[in-house]
Structures are given as structure tokens and as C-alpha cells.
């Protein structure tokens, strides 16, 4: 559990200081723990220093003797606004935050994050701002490079897009989780040409199908009428690659939120009258060692509770989706793919 190194209370992933005792802190990506800003050492006893982008609200740490003064997350950002327009730096800070949360989620899942400086086709992020550059930015992934339009950090823009496209959910973090899905499909399933590739095509369709045709069809006809029985979202119906990326994003949404619930100590006690679940629901920090059906059982009740909690505040559902049986099979496949590549040292600094 992430706790304040001074007072021991739970602390947010993004915190620069504890909300309770005001101790200034940083997040150490190597140990995945929160440490004091001042005299902190990591598990290997090396001194830690704050990332030079702390002015952009980055709370990650770097080894004090490292050659560079930017953290792993800030360095894996390959292109970003130069700061000549102050507005773009505000957008960048929001995007950086989502990117760090993405990376921590991947580390929690044990997925290897191999950056572009280690290998050709390694992961890189281009965070480009169409609002200040005036240039069109296409959100996407190609050869390991994930491009995000910083315009998506603006509530008015993002919400207008969400309504225009009829989406129940649209967040910057969601974009990151979707695009990284394309990267991991390429790295873990398609690239080795291994036994999982056949299964990928059986479940999602042939990823080699023409993307342009799919795009044209989707934006002129929309999703097929009965889409909800086979897909997690309308966008997933467009192309097998998008179905995989949407499913992979949901896999991360579900496990990250269950992990947060576990860290917060959430327990759901079944009401006496129900026959739906007869034992207490206790979310786990990790579901790596169990069948994905365990995660889905827990998620069903945790999501149902969190939706009602959101509704109590006058907000829409936290998780405005239904998971049909066909999608359960796709999520189980994602679970097996993720487990097949488990690593204990997710953030790879050197070859």
C-alpha cells in the first residue's frame, strides 16, 4: 500500500506532499514506494533526488548519482512542447500525470516497459499540443511511439469529443491505456508469431484487415446494431486491432481500480437477503496468480458499488460499461498474454 513515510496514512500516487502531515514526498519508480523528498534512499541504499520536472508536478525520483536529472517517465517522453507557450506546459503537466499512472499500472501488472533508448521500436511518448501549435495531432501508436494530443487535457474539448462520438467514457488516462494496448499486441502477440497469434485472430479477428476500409465503414455506418453482445465499446467494433486495444484498456482499468480498492481496505459484505454472492468480496492487490474469473467476480460487485457511490454524488457511473460473455473470453486471453510476459523489473534502463 502507498503510505506516507512520516505519518503512515494512505497517500495518492500523484502527491508531492502528504495531505495529512504535509511531509514532502516523491515516488520511487524502482521500489514502487513513496519516500521522503529530503534524505531518501532506495532499496539498494542509493540516494534519491527529485525529478527536474517537479515544477511540472512530476513527483517521481531519480538516483542522485544518475547521469540525467529527469525521471524514467519524463525521459520516455520523446517529444513535448518546449514551454514557449505557458498554456502548453499546463496541458503537459496533466498529460504527464496520466502517463505516470499508466506506467505504474503496467509495472503492477509486471509488464516490461522497454524504452526507445534501449531498443528500436521501444516505447516512447510524443505529447503534442494541437491547441498551441495549430497543427493537427493524431492520437495513435506506431512502432512503439505513442502520440497524445494535449488538447485532450482540456475538459471542454474532451467532453465535446466524447458527446460528439457518443462515448460513455473519455479520459487522458484512457487514451494512454488504449494506445499502449496496440504496442503490447505488437510486442507480445503479433511480433513473435507465436501460438497466441492464432488465438488472437480467433477472438478478435484478423488484425491484418484493411484499416482504411474499417475507418471509412465505421465513420459512415457506425457500430452494428447488436454490438453490445460482442464488444466492450462501439469503437471496438471498428477493427480487430481496436477491439484488442479497447479490451486491453479495460483490463488495465479493472485491475488498477481493484488494486486501489485493495489498498484502501475495501470489503463488501453481502446483504443477508441476496443469493448473488454469499461470501465477502475482498479485492486483491494482484490477480496475477489466479484465473481472471476471480477478478471479474470481484469487479462486478466493486464496480456496482462504485457506480452507486458516483451516482450518490450526482455523477454518472464510474464504470459505464457492461461486460458480455464474449468480452469475458477476450479479457481472459489478455490476462494470459500479460501473465506470459511477467517481469519483476518493469522499467528497463539499459539493454
- The CB-of-25 to Zn ion minimum distance in angstroms stands at 8
Using the rule CB under 5 A, which residue among 21, 165, 209, 280 binds Zn ion? 21
Q: Name the one range near Zn ion by CB under 5 A: 39-47, 59-67, 81-89, 246-254.
A: 59-67
Using the rule CB under 5 A, which residue among 53, 233, 241, 259 binds Zn ion? 53
Size of the site for Zn ion (CB under 5 A): 13
- The CB-of-277 to Zn ion minimum distance in angstroms stands at 36
Reduce the DSSP state of residue 164 to 3 states and report it. Answer: helix
When the beta carbons of 51 and 154 are compared against Zn ion, the nearer one is 51
Rounded distance between C-alpha atoms, residue 186 and residue 36, angstroms: 38
Q: Name the one range near Zn ion by CB under 5 A: 66-74, 126-134, 306-314, 324-332.
A: 66-74
Which of 112, 110, 113, 114 shows the shortest CA–CA distance to 288? 110
Per-residue burial over 169-195, b = 16 or more CB atoms within 10 Å of its CB, e = otherwise? beebbbbbbbbbbbbbbbbbbbeeeee
Residue 25 binds to Zn ion (criterion: CB under 5 A): no
Q: Is 99 exposed, middle or buried (0-12, 13-18, 19+ CB in 10 A)?
A: buried
Rounded distance between C-alpha atoms, residue 123 and residue 143, angstroms: 8
Contact 206, 350 (CB under 8 A): no
When the beta carbons of 31 and 307 are compared against Zn ion, the nearer one is 31
Longest Cα separation, the chain? 62
What cell was used for 297? 467476480
When the beta carbons of 60 and 347 are compared against Zn ion, the nearer one is 60
Using CA atoms, how far residue 3 sits from 64, 102, 341, in Å, is 22, 20, 29
When the beta carbons of 10 and 270 are compared against Zn ion, the nearer one is 10
For CA atoms 318, 288, 58, 15, the dihedral sign is: positive
When the beta carbons of 51 and 188 are compared against Zn ion, the nearer one is 51
When the beta carbons of 7 and 328 are compared against Zn ion, the nearer one is 7
- The CB-of-72 to Zn ion minimum distance in angstroms stands at 8
Q: Strand locations in the chain, DSSP E?
A: 25-28, 33-36, 48-50, 61-63, 77-79, 124-128, 140-142, 145-149
Binding mask 1-20 for Zn ion (x = CB under 5 A): ---x-xx----------x-x
Using the rule CB under 5 A, which residue among 37, 58, 111, 258 binds Zn ion? 58
- The CB-of-6 to Zn ion minimum distance in angstroms stands at 5
Site for Zn ion in 71-90 (CB under 5 A): 71, 74
- The CB-of-142 to Zn ion minimum distance in angstroms stands at 24
When the beta carbons of 58 and 245 are compared against Zn ion, the nearer one is 58
Binding site for Zn ion (CB under 5 A): 4, 6-7, 18, 20-21, 23, 51, 53, 58, 60, 71, 74
Amino acid at each position: 500500500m502507498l503510505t506516507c513515510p512520516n505519518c503512515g496514512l494512505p497517500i495518492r500516487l500523484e502527491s508531492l506532499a502528504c495531505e495529512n502531515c504535509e511531509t514532502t514526498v516523491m515516488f520511487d519508480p524502482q521500489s514502487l514506494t513513496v519516500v521522503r523528498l529530503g534524505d531518501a534512499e532506495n532499496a539498494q541504499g542509493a540516494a534519491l533526488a527529485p525529478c527536474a520536472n517537479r515544477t511540472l508536478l512530476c513527483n517521481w525520483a531519480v538516483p542522485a548519482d544518475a547521469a540525467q536529472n529527469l525521471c524514467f517517465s519524463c525521459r520516455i517522453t520523446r517529444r513535448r512542447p518546449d514551454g514557449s507557450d505557458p498554456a502548453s506546459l499546463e496541458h503537459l503537466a496533466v498529460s504527464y500525470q496520466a502517463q505516470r499512472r499508466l506506467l505504474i499500472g503496467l509495472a503492477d501488472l509486471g509488464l516490461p516497459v522497454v524504452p526507445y533508448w534501449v531498443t528500436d521500436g521501444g516505447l516512447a511518448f510524443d505529447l503534442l499540443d494541437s491547441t498551441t501549435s495549430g497543427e493537427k495531432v493524431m492520437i495513435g501508436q506506431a512502432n512503439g511511439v505513442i502520440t497524445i494530443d494535449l488538447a485532450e487535457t482540456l475538459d471542454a474539448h474532451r467532453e465535446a469529443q466524447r458527446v460528439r462520438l457518443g462515448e460513455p467514457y473519455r479520459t487522458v488516462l484512457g487514451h494512454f491505456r488504449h494506445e499502449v494496448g496496440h504496442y503490447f499486441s505488437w510486442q507480445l502477440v503479433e511480433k513473435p508469431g507465436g501460438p497466441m497469434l492464432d488465438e488472437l485472430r480467433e477472438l478478435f479477428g484478423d488484425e491484418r484487415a484493411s484499416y482504411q476500409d474499417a475507418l471509412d465503414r465505421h465513420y459512415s455506418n457506425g457500430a452494428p446494431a447488436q454490438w453490445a453482445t460482442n464488444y466492450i465499446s462501439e469503437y471496438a467494433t471498428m477493427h480487430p486491432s481496436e477491439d484488442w486495444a479497447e479490451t486491453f484498456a479495460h483490463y488495465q482499468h479493472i485491475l488498477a481500480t481493484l488494486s486501489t480498492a485493495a489498498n484502501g481496505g475495501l470489503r463488501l459484505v453481502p446483504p443477508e437477503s441476496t443469493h448473488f454472492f454469499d461470501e465477502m468480496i475482498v479485492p486483491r492487490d494482484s490477480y496475477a496468480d489466479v484465473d481472471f474469473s476471480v477478478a471479474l467476480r470481484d469487479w462486478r460487485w466493486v464496480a456496482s458499488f462504485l457506480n452507486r457511490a458516483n451516482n450518490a454524488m450526482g455523477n454518472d457511473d464510474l464504470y459505464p460499461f457492461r461486460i458480455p460473455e464474449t468480452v469475458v473470453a477476450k479479457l481472459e486471453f489478455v490476462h494470459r498474454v500479460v501473465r506470459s510476459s511477467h517481469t519483476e523489473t518493469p522499467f528497463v534502463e539499459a539493454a
